[in-house]
């Protein structure tokens, strides 16, 4: 077995262990596995792309994974103090911005024409999603209003920029990254709905959050590797 295959197996084994810990609310298992998820993904991505010529795209992806590690770590402490929600949100916000920078880089540097009808349609869809979600959450956000509004914009920008890569990159890279981005949006939506609408009591919310999040990060990284190896 290659070290790359071993790394990704470790990544998913860590994810399974973390999800089990989350389901049974067993903090020692969560604390032992969750921080290692992005560490493993970082090493996996770093090794596969170290020969890449597009250092800007690669560096943006690596930085996004670093800030995701920070977000994961901060959110582990959420049961102890709500300040960790803001710290985790802030860390993920920066990570989302680096995803936007990376995806925008692959769009700008591509010589293929931009699909304007699709681009506009995607923008309208995400604006609608943002409006509906924020309208639903608004009465419950209170002190978290501004941070959540800003983070919501960043997530939508990430989703839109992932979608705008259609016809700009290979079909395989686009599909992997776009599906990953949509899973990330879904994961963040469940977090927001659980945290504010259900006050943390949405059934199995944390399990679904982690399943979608782990798959999202893997698919985005894998699609980005495809892109870097093709360019």
Q: Give the pLDDT confidence score for residue 111 in this predicted structure.
A: 83
Gap between the Cα atoms of 13 and 32, Å rounded: 12
- Note whether 77 and 131 are within 8 A (CB): no
Contacting residues for 3 by C-beta, under 8 A, at least 6 apart: 47
> pTM value?
0.95
pLDDT tens across 111-128, in order? Answer: 888 888 889 999 999 999
Give rounded-to-5 percent helix, strand, coil for the chain.
85, 0, 15
**DSSP letter (8 states) at residue 164:** T
Q: Give the pLDDT confidence score for residue 187 in this predicted structure.
A: 97
Contacting residues for 24 by C-beta, under 8 A, at least 6 apart: none
pLDDT tens across 2-41, in order? Answer: 889 999 999 999 999 999 999 999 999 999 999 999 999 9
Instruction: Quickly count: other Cβ atoms within 10 Å of residue 10's Cβ.
Output: 17
How many domains are contained in the chain? 1
Q: What percent of the chain has pLDDT over 70?
A: 100
Q: Share the mean pLDDT of the chain.
A: 94
* 140 has pLDDT over 90: yes
**Packed helices 205-230 and 171-192: angle between N→C axes, nearest 10 degrees:** 160
DSSP letters spanning 63-81: HHHHHHHHHHHHHHTTTT-
Domain range enclosing 14: 3-230
């Amino acid at each position: 077995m290659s070290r790359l295959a071993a790394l990704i197996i470790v990544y998913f084994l860590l994810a399974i262990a973390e999800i089990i810990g989350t389901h049974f609310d067993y903090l020692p298992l969560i604390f032992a596995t969750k921080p290692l998820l992005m560490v493993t993904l970082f090493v996996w991505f770093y090794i596969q792309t170290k020969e890449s010529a597009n250092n800007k795209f690669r560096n943006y992806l690596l930085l996004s994974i670093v800030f995701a590690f920070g977000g994961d770590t901060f959110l582990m402490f959420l049961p102890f103090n709500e300040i960790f929600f803001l710290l985790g949100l802030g860390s993920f916000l920066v990570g989302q911005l680096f995803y936007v920078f990376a995806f925008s880089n692959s769009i700008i540097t591509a010589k293929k024409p931009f699909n304007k009808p699709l681009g506009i349609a995607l923008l309208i869809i995400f604006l609608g999603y943002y409006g509906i979600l924020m309208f639903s959450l608004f009465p419950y956000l209170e002190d978290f209003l501004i941070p959540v509004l800003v983070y919501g914009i960043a997530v939508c920008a990430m989703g839109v920029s992932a979608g705008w890569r259609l016809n700009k990159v290979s079909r395989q890279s686009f599909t992997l990254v776009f599906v990953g981005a949509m899973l990330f949006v879904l994961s963040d939506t469940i977090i927001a709905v659980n945290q504010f609408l259900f006050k943390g009591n949405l059934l199995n919310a944390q399990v679904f959050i982690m399943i979608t999040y782990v798959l999202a990060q893997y698919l985005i990284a894998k699609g980005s590797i495809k892109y870097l190896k093709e360019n």
